[in-house]
Amino acid sequence: MDFKDKVALVTGGGNGIGRATALGFAARGARVVIVDRDAAAGEAVAGVVRQQGGEAIFVVADVTDSKSVQAYVARAVETYGRIDCFHNNAGIEGKIATIADYDEAMFDQVIAVNVKGVFLGLKYVLKQMLAQKGGGAIVNTASTAGLMGSPGMPAYVASKHAVLGLTKTASGEVARQGIRVNAVCPGPIDTRMIQDLQKQLNPADPERVAATYQSSIPLGRYGTAEEVANTVLFLCSDLATNITGAHFVVDGGRTSTPGAVTSMNK
């Protein structure tokens, strides 16, 4: 997977899966544009890339704001001339509560980041890729929550189902222009998000939640951010030139084995 002379843009690139993807692109020769609302984290990742001899810039942005999204696209093009690969990754998990008790403002926030943010990223990056007339590859971050229900996480589940719908729609619109659009569906990954969910479920003993949840995964452990990043890199590479409109599950076998699917709420 060689990305020499390619430009890769990653939203949510300051932490977790986005950070791993940004570093993975850079290690394989890409010039990287890291986008995040966390300026310190984003600058730190760009610094790591530069320390390792790569090229990277950081752009602080609110993915729910159209002008902010247009600005990160413009900065990427201004700096590197084009966008070849886009990991449309920024997302939040929200709070755990049943639909009957879910806070409306929190629902709106999750949908804004996870759905509108993905839509705006697609809208303005696709405009740029189409103008370049050179094709491109996009990977949206969905989730196994986009493939099934998860009691207590209505906003997150709804948002990730929507990401898969946007992925399929976009792929059909731009395939003839040489642009591929796919999605990655991580299961439980050892990042801040899963740690926060564990704390919400059992503030006194989050490790007990972790042990219970990992026991329901056939591989017996959480995945790593790097394992998801490797799938993203594959889908953006020339090894995947006949793949578009697809979703790839990275979950240790959790969704493929019905008896392994256990709600975190139990």
Catalytic residues: 156
C-alpha–C-alpha distance, residues 139 and 74, integer Å: 20
Q: Beta 85-88 vs 56-60: how paired, if at all?
A: unpaired
Give CA separation, 153 vs 74, 157, 198, in Å. 35, 6, 13
- 146 is written with which tokens? 């986009």
Residue position matching structure tokens 């991580």: 186
Classify the phi-psi angles of 185: left when phi > 0, otherwise alpha if psi is within -120 to 50, otherwise beta. beta
Q: Beta 7-11 vs 85-88: how paired, if at all?
A: parallel
Give all strands (DSSP E) within 94-253, no chain letters: 136-141, 179-186, 247-250
Residue type (1 letter), 70 = Q
Which phi and psi angles does 248 have, rounded to 5°?
-115, 125
C-alpha–C-alpha distance, residues 209 and 157, integer Å: 20
